[in-house]
Every structure is written in C-alpha cells, then in structure tokens.
Structure 1
Amino acid sequence: MAVVFENDLDRDGRKRATASLMSQFQHAAGLCTIIGSFTFLFALVIGLIR
C-alpha cells in the first residue's frame, strides 16, 4: 500500500489532474508487476515441490 503526495501545481495553484492520474496509473502498474512476479515465482516453487 502506497501513499502518493502530488506537489504538481499549475499557475492557479490547482493540481494537474492528468499528471496525478498518470502517476496513479504508473504506481498501480508497478504494484501489479511486483505482485504478478511474486505470484509466478510462488506458483513455480509450489510446482517444483510437488
């Protein structure tokens, strides 16, 4: 679980929605990749034990 703080403000002092959204997608993709890798390795080890 990760908490993301965005300091990306435009001229009016508002957050840029697109930058924030892309950042969230990048974090989610990275997290899914890590979880997928561990799941694959775990399944591989279980398969080798049996």
Structure 2
Amino acid sequence: MAIVVEPGVGRHRAKRATDSVMSQLRHAAGICTITGSFIFLFAVVIGLIR
C-alpha cells in the first residue's frame, strides 16, 4: 500500500483521501477481528480435543 501526497491539494480532496484511509483501516480492523476470532475458536477446539 502506498500513500501518495500531492502538493497543492485542496481541502475537499484531502478530506476525501482521509475518509478513504479511515475506511481502509476500518476494513482491515474487521478482517483482523474475524481472523482472530477463528484462531481463538480453533485453539479452543484443539484444547477440547486434547
């Protein structure tokens, strides 16, 4: 992922870029949460089997 900063960007465009980054971070956090949940459940199942 690359973040490109252009000189002379107006406020409106900069705000849109900030919203896009926040959206990407929110999406990544969701993926991490789901992945962590699956890993936790998998660890619990392995613990119960043993």
| Length-normalised TM-score, structure 2 | 0.69
RMSD: 1.6
Identity of aligned residues (%): 74
CA distance, structure 2, for counterparts of residue 46 and residue 17 of structure 1: 43
- Unmatched 5+ stretches in structure 2: 1-11
Q: How many pairs does the alignment contain?
A: 38
Higher helix share: 2
Displaced runs of 4 or more, over 6 A = none
- Unmatched 5+ stretches in structure 1: 1-11
Bigger relative contact order (CA 8 A; separation at least 6): 1
Larger Rg: 2
